[in-house]
A and B are shown apart, each in its own frame.
Chain A
Amino acid sequence: MSIRIGTNSFEHRVQEGIKNDFMRGAVSSAQGRFRSGRLKAAEELGNWEDWRTLGEEIRNHTMENLDFYLQQLSDQVSKRGGSVFFAETAEEANDYIQNVIKKKNGKKVVKSKSMVTEEIGLNKALEEAGSEVVETDLGEWILQLDEDPPSHIVTPALHKNKEQIRETFAAKKGYDKTDKPEELALFAREQLRKDFLSADIGITGCNFAVAESGAVTLVTNEGNARLVTSLPDTQITVMGMERLVPTWEDLEVLVSLLTRSAVGQKLTSYVTSLTGTRLEGEVDGPEEFHLVIVDNGRSKILGTEFQSALHCIRCAACINACPVYRHVGGHSYGSIYPGPIGAVLTPLLDGYDDHKELPYASTLCAACTEACPVKIPLHEHLIRHRQIIVEKENKAPKAEKLAMKGFAKWGSSPAAYKMSTKMARTALKPWTKDEKIENGPGPMKAWTDARDFPAPSKQSFRSWYKSRRKGDES
């Protein structure tokens, strides 16, 4: 798997999403819960806007000095017995990790949830190299067993119901109990415990690394990341190059923003900061630690007007606030990063060719921008993407380009514009019945397929205004 999921067209994916009643019900109720949780958590703090400002300032400073902080981070990790590999591409990262596993003669890999490893297609690469890879986050495990991509960056199996999960467990793991969530989870606990105890390699993502001391912080609820980093003798952590903070003081601010924005919790059950290898005399933790820092297209975003997209802390607040996501679901985006942030990031990381529809999958209602805990102007980035698609990529439809040329003439010519205010009613008359249009011509059809279009007023504002002025004068 890489960033792109599936091969169907955007229109096809959207149709599929809209037809999927269960998914839409699940997403809608999840969004409702996430949203009220986030708002409540923000309200409890009282000064949420100050928190967002602080988060934005920390992210901004970190990105402006990313080379410095990554150097500091790697020095600190190295000092604490860890190896650091800077990977410019997904292939470099995957190759390095394969080699580490090969050298350790590793057979079984346990993984905690990580979006960046999805992005670089790590599981596939490792399986091809002969490793057994087990996802241990409950949602990720369900998807792995069912060979299904994630549809949400925090709750990846949001689109599945418990009956589907029961069937998957039964077919793939011989599960014979009910579809009660508690029983399903207990089964996962028992099954995965065996994997944790027998694994030789643990692989994690990274929510935030701390440059000043070389710690890698994982934010979870289930405890699987703790198991992945406590039991196997080798730990490999893969991080997107932007996922770090300067100091522990900054760490707590971003963790506080993350947990509140993601799940409405003050902190998740486990926030675990790991530094290097286990120390002398310690039993738990890895004796060998590798940190893989991944670029994979991110550096191209630095120094551009999209730089703040790298501030993202993967909380999914924008996804949970997005009305388009609610109706079409995560898979419609055709990217492992769905929703507004996905529509911004995916074309940046993977180009416009396969993803040119994404920037338009938004009404620009700005609910995403409002929800973002680090103030990424998501809807403005979507407009920037559209500008690039029109001006640089030249991927806009011809008819649209013509229409917009016409717009420029119309908008800059008061006479032409005034004429349209006069003529609109007459021009639409052939289609108008009972002061509304039910079957509009040309581009209006897309509108009238779903809703009526009103007939323009009988008397134009301008003629009313003119006659009124005359009245005043007389």
Chain B
Amino acid sequence: MAIQNRESFLNNLAENLGRSRRKEGVERPEWSVSPQWEVYQGYSEDQLVDVLEKQCKVIHTDFRKTDAAGLQDVLKETVDRYQGKSIIAADDSRNQEYSLDSFYQRMEADGVEVHIWDAGKGKENQVFAERADVGITFSDATLAESGTVTLFNSKGNGRSISLLPKTYIAVIPKSTIVPRITQATKHIHEANQQGHEVSSCVSFITGPSNSADIEMNLIVGVHGPIKVTYIVVEDK
């Protein structure tokens, strides 16, 4: 696509910097320090789960831990707690792996409306998401320190699922947990260097939406989901 006014703009910058234009050959130096790699260095997966659980209290997020066999029940309890009459969920290959497919069938049988994201249906997905009670996605990378789930939004995992419904549930395969955002962005950096296209939207989501804009009072639940549950599940 078009790039306008670039040459004169950048020439002016170079001039002000007192040198000729740099169009190539700029290398990032080795930074003198790297404190980001020291955070929870050497922690085991279980220790990181503990860190995540603690952080969930800070970010007003419910935390559950289960195994593959127990996942359906925990999900059901959570949807019930959220009085979920309608669910929108990502179209994810892990739905089958973790038997979410059968969970959604079970919910539908119970009279809950379930919509699995369907790219072919276009804006209908958004319309459903907007009135849905619950949105459900997997986490692609989970950051223990901050209590963050990372979504590489895609054709099957629309941005709306984790955004428009009143509540949101993230299913977190235990193996996706890393110490902090450092590991996730390193992964993206390396994938990009190898020529893989970065997702059009990488969402780092840390609990429910909130605001402190009125007299610095913390209000949980503003434009995004009002309640959030994380369910950590032992890998299959």
Contacts and interface: CB of A to CB of B under 8 A. Distances in A.
A143 to B, nearest CB: 10
Given A189-B223, A271-B204, A284-B159, A57 B31 contact: yes
Interface string A126-141: 0000000000111100
Interface of B: 1-6, 8-14, 16-18, 21-24, 26, 28-29, 31-36, 38-39, 55, 59, 117, 119, 121-123, 125-126, 130, 143, 145-148, 153-155, 158-160, 163, 180-182, 184-186, 188-189, 192-193, 197-217, 219, 221-225
Contacts of B180: 256
A276 B206 CA distance: 24
Contacts, number: 296
A39 to B, nearest CB: 16
A135 B118 CA distance: 31
B214 A181 contact: yes
Contact of A275 (B3, B34, B59, B199): B199
Contact of B192 (A26, A61, A248, A277): A248
Contacts of B153: 282, 284-285
Contacts of B23: 68, 71
Contacts of B216: 26, 29-30, 33, 155, 158
Contacts of A274: 200-201
A138 B222 CA distance: 8
B200 A285 contact: yes
Interface in A231-269: 231, 241, 246-253, 255-256, 263, 265-269
Interface in A412-452: none
Interface stretch (A76-84, A362-370, A386-394): A76-84
A282 B211 contact: no
A185 B215 contact: no
A226 B224 contact: yes
Contacts of A269: 59, 205-210, 224
A15 B217 CA distance: 28
A160 B48 CA distance: 41
A57 B55 CA distance: 30
Contacts of B215: 26, 161-162, 181
A302 interface: yes
18 contacts: A33-B216, A45-B39, A50-B35, A67-B21, A78-B1, A78-B2, A165-B214, A185-B211, A189-B221, A250-B28, A252-B182, A266-B146, A267-B181, A268-B206, A270-B205, A272-B204, A284-B201, A285-B153
A251 B35 contact: no
A229 B180 CA distance: 25
A311 B75 CA distance: 45
Given A181-B219, A230-B163, 14 more contacts: A50-B35, A66-B17, A67-B13, A70-B13, A86-B3, A86-B6, A86-B8, A142-B213, A162-B217, A222-B210, A226-B159, A248-B189, A263-B212, A283-B125
Given A269-B224, A283-B123, A299 B13 contact: yes
A51 interface: yes
Contacts of A473: none
Nearest to A57: B31
A65 interface: yes
Task: Give the 5 A-B CB pairs with smallest separation, nearest first.
Answer: A223-B224, A139-B213, A86-B9, A266-B146, A223-B209
A2 B6 CA distance: 24
B205 to A, nearest CB: 6
A83 B2 contact: yes
Contact of B14 (A67, A85, A279, A300): A67
A213 interface: yes
A53 interface: yes
A124 to B, nearest CB: 22
Nearest to A266: B146
Contacts of B28: 61, 246-247, 250
A102 to B, nearest CB: 16
Contact of B224 (A165, A251, A270): A270
Contacts of A280: 155
Contact of A50 (B33, B199, B208): B33
Nearest to A249: B189
Contacts of A69: 26
Contacts of A303: 16-18
Contact of B10 (A71, A78, A96, A161): A71
A54 interface: yes
A184 interface: yes
A451 B9 CA distance: 54
A295 B13 CA distance: 10
Contacts of B22: 65, 67-68
A267 B148 contact: yes
A138 to B, nearest CB: 4
Given A253-B36, A270-B204, A283 B122 contact: yes
A277 B181 contact: no
Contacts of B39: 45
A252 B36 contact: yes
Interface in A160-183: 161-162, 165, 181-182
A278 interface: yes
Contacts of B1: 77-78, 81-84
Looking at B4, B119, B130, the one whose CB has the most chain A CB atoms below 10 A away is B4
A226 B204 CA distance: 11
B185 A285 contact: no
Given A138-B213, A221-B210, A249 B33 contact: no
Contacts of B185: 248-249, 251-252
Contacts of A158: 216
